[in-house]
Structure 1
Amino acid sequence: MHSDAEITTADLVGTQLVRLVRLLERKQAQYQADHPDAVERATYILLVHLVKDGPQRAGTLAESVYSDPSTISRQVAQLVRLGLVERTADPEDGRATLLAATDEGRRVFEENRRNRNERIAGLMGEWDPADRARFADLLVRFTTDFENQHRISTGPAAAAGRS
């Protein structure tokens, strides 16, 4: 059981997270309309994993983003149509396919990341540098704890259902 103060703080954080997600969704929709290199957020996350982690099978990618293979398949097909991802034979198993970011996919990733970082830097530009650093540290901690709790709560039985 949590104290009233803990619940009050959790309510404030939860309310602000919902507000932030709504603002991000609205901003993303506007950004997609204004930028030719914009990619749907859920699909872009796959591109991010392929750029950062290198080529991988669809099942591995699905596990990385906590999604099911059928959803990943549809999203990957869109990335392939856009020329951002390519399918190649897995050198370890010729029957399997690896997904890899193309040069264009890496360019789009870098452009989107640069634009995002510029917007965030502008937003926090008036903040004290110590506040920016503290916020970044706390956000990493919160996100990591959230992710770890998600991994624990999904457990092996849930992970097996995603394979």
Structure 2
Amino acid sequence: MAPAAQEAAFTAAELDIADELGVQLVRFVRLINKAKSQVAKQGPDGIERAAYAILFHLIHDGPQRTSKLAEALHAEISTISRQSSALVQHGLVERQADPEDGRACLLAPTAEGLRVFEENRKKRNLWLAEVLAEWPEEDRQTLNELLDRLNSGIERHIPHVADHGSAQAKGADA
């Protein structure tokens, strides 16, 4: 659908709400990035914080090739390769033969990787519990339900490559 036709499909009130959501999402992302930057760029084990995203994907989605991880994380294969090598050196990830192609390898979390992941998850959960400590239980549940709906909607409506340039330009104005 062309942008003008898309815009005509929504009322002014719907577009105003979408604009406010956009503002709040930009604010949210900036605050999350600020909170992340307060934590050392490298964890206590000397691994880049960004490398933990690889560990997260391997734990949640199972063993994967470097190329699949790069696609999932919207990163260059060289970056994923460097970060995964650090995870392997620290014993958090191991290389396994790909059962579908013996020439390729899959990356998989080790028992130590699972332990470190759970330790980091526990720290994150304690921080979020502190952030939400003054919220009523019902509001916390509602937030989780609404974020799940928002994430599902975003997953269903990822902009196409052709729309990407105009979406970036609009995002820069926010």
TM-score, normalising length: structure 1: 0.80
Residues 42 and 48 in structure 2, CA contact (< 8 A), matched pair in contact too? no
Q: Which structure carries more helix by proportion?
A: 1
- Return 5+ residue gaps in structure 1 as ranges: 156-163
Q: 1:145-160 maps to which residues of 2 (within 5 A)?
A: 145-150=153-158, 153=160
Give the 3 Å change call, closer, same or farther, for CA 71–149 of structure 1 in structure 2. Answer: farther
Q: 1:84 — aligned with what?
A: 92
The alignment partner of 1:137 has SS state of helix
Does 2:89 correspond to 1:118? no
Q: 1:131-146 maps to which residues of 2 (within 5 A)?
A: 131-146=139-154
Identity %: 49
Residues 63 and 109 in structure 2, CA contact (< 8 A), matched pair in contact too? yes
Q: Which deviates more from structure 2 when the two are superposed, residues 19-28 or residues 89-98?
A: 89-98
Q: 1:60 — aligned with what?
A: 68
Q: 1:96 — aligned with what?
A: 104
RMSD: 2.4
TM-score, normalising length: structure 2: 0.76
Q: What CA deviation, in whole Å up to 9, does each residue of 1:25-62 have, x standing for no partner?
A: 11112122695158545422211011122212122223
Residues 132 and 140 in structure 2, CA contact (< 8 A), matched pair in contact too? yes
Per-residue deviation at 1:75? 2.7
Give the 3 Å change call, closer, same or farther, for CA 34–47 of structure 1 in structure 2. Answer: closer
Q: Which deviates more from structure 2 when the two are superposed, residues 130-139 or residues 29-38?
A: 29-38
Residues 37 and 108 in structure 1, CA contact (< 8 A), matched pair in contact too? no
- Select the structure of larger CA radius of gyration: 2
The alignment partner of 2:91 has SS state of coil
Q: What CA deviation, in whole Å up to 9, does each residue of 1:118-146 have, x standing for no partner?
A: 11112112211111111110101101111
